[in-house]
Structure 1
Amino acid sequence: MKIQKFKNSTRMMNAMVLGVLFMSMPAIGFTSGADYPPPGDFAKGAQTWADNCGRCHNIRAANELRDDQWISTAFHMRMRAGLTGQETRDVLTFLQGSNTSVKVSSTPSRKTTVSTLSGKEVYGQTCVACHGANGAGNFPGVPNFTSKNGPLSKSDDVLIKNIMSGFQSPGSPMAMPVKGGNPDLNQKDIEKTIEYMRKQFVK
């Protein structure tokens, strides 16, 4: 009789513990979903991605995973790559910003803000992370500016529209976000950057 009571008591305790765990699971899941990391720096994320991810495996296209899946992957792999929290957020911003095909608007936005940066400075701050210092591209899928039939073979008007509105090159798994991920750029900045790229990369 005592053994039976002990078994019944144990079963009740187990049931209570399982009940508490079951009730707490939705709250845990909601908390995890709500802890969405703040946005990072797109250009820095692109550079960190190029510098670190290729060391262990081939660089993966951003559209291989959904945005929410990249969150888990990025924060899981940060320990492997030795990334700081900020570097991880930068990489995540880059991946999510490159994940979806860009819907190009019919007319690019125009700003009248006075430009203070040179084309070289804009390229170094915004473009070099993906396109590389030599213009050939830092990783697969990035257009080669040094190619005879590459992007710089197009007219200035086409390039300005593509940069201002965002663009995805045919066959590329990654899309360039609006203004290369730098919302502070104005049309004059982009015009000077195109001029710099033509002088630097078109031979």
Structure 2
Amino acid sequence: MPNDKLRPAPPVGIDIPPGYNEIPLGDLDTLMQTARPVITASVPDRMRDDVPDVLGTLHFLLATLAANNALYSGIGLHRTAEVSGRVAVSWLTVSSFEYGEERNPRLVLSELINVKAEKKSRGTLAIIEGPAVPILYFEWIEKHSVPVFASYPVTSDTPEVFQIEVTVPSADGTSIAVVELSAADPDIGPQYRGMILDMAASITFPQPPSDTGSSSLAL
């Protein structure tokens, strides 16, 4: 999306589905200090020397989310529909942006589609009619380089992550909310489609309190 149009995060309301554990995006240093003994105790002895590197990477990712208007971040654990006892892991983020002048929300989505075309983004794209405004749905599989950790076995495989991004404009076109999901198992990823669309349909853009400029997330 065009960076020159993006300003601080407006407040939004959204329903977060059950099964997600929120990761606070405030005091990350304290969060890492709290997480370190828990992670250290939960991994095999041979992997404990890599815990500082893992925490450093996690700190960087969360700080990047916070700097890019993330209002919510959470890790989800869900039972899969096909295999009994199999647990699916996913990462969920919600962000919001002030986008531009008042206009038809369909024009906002049209512009965002053009930006994806200019970037040659590859995936499945659709406009879905929501209860109040249209929703831009984009789904793709992203390949990542293998992380390098001394205790982690070297593999030639390229990990694939299933990604969904839905963008919801406000009724006056001045703000957008973005819900992003990453699923570690591409085969399970499609099971999240309905959940993400339900989240998109629940989004509202309440007016911020007149005496404060802070943003909020109604859960």
- For normalisation by structure 1, the TM-score amounts to 0.24
Rg larger in 1 or in 2?
A: 1
RCO (CA 8 Å, sep 6+): is it higher in 1 or 2? Answer: 2
Structure with a larger share of its residues in helix: 1
Structure with a larger share of its residues in strand: 2
